[in-house]
Amino acid sequence: MTHWAESGAFLNFTTRCASISKSFFSSTLLYCEIVVKPHVHFHPDTEFIRISSLSAKLKMGPRDPLLEAMAEVKVNANQLRKQATKAESMSRAQEDKATKAMKKGQFQISRIHAGSAIREKRRSVTLLSKAAEADVIYSDLAAAKSTRDSTRSLMKASKALDSASRSINLERTLAIANAFVSRSEDFKLAGSALEGVSRDVQMAEYGAEGAEDEVDKLMERLADNAGVDLRQNLEENAAPSDEIGVKAGKQKEPDFEDGLAGRLRALRS
């Protein structure tokens, strides 16, 4: 089997691709033009395919006139710059020819080449100015595309918010919130009632004085275990006698001989 490259077949591809990515919800637009020039023979496996001429345009995604315009302007600007570069090269070549003719004494020919160099130089400047104008147009198109995409995004977000607001029942939401608040208040009241009942049960079983005596005994035991002189600390932290008398309803100050429990009760009052 003879490969198509070994048979001397010539394949000439001219490809021009401009790929521009759309932002947000747009897909990618790919514009590709392929030209295959004549009489190329392929031999894949046992099948024979003969391509005489093919011109195809492959497009992916929806057509967007704005993106197509941006692609065309960009390609045009690149072509103008290439032509300007060629014109600059031609101008330098004409200057070299004019110099050589001048060295040979051919001043008329040198003048002709000099005129051609000037014309190519001016053409290069004109092409560069047109390329700059194309860049400005491309920037304007890009700004318009950005504004359009932002507007579309805002429109979609607004529609989503509208649908979400329609799916929400405001009256039902307020009713649920009010029910939650009322249930929370009920739980708070129930908790307070349970605390009151527990306190009443404790008072009924031990009495107020009994509970205080137990606390005093526990503090004495803890002070003994910690090696702390609880009596001295109570004397240092005790309130003045006149304040204690006012709080106690002008009762007599308890003596130190009444014991540690009496001093603790005086501090509580």
DSSP class per residue in 9-29? ----EEEEEEEEPPPTT---E
Is residue 185 predicted with pLDDT exceeding 70? Answer: yes
Q: Are 260 and 231 within 8 A, CB to CB?
A: yes
Using pLDDT thresholds of 50, 70 and 90, give the confidence band for residue 176. confident
Which has more pLDDT, 21 or 64?
Answer: 64
Share of the chain above pLDDT 70, in %: 55
pLDDT, tens digit, 9 for 90 and up, residues 56-70: 444 455 788 888 999
- Please name the residues in contact with 262: beta carbons below 8 A apart, sequence gap of 6 or more: 254, 255
Q: What is the mean pLDDT of the chain?
A: 70
Q: Are 32 and 82 within 8 A, CB to CB?
A: no
CA distance 65 to 209: 94
pLDDT, tens digit, 9 for 90 and up, residues 151-167: 999 999 998 888 887 87
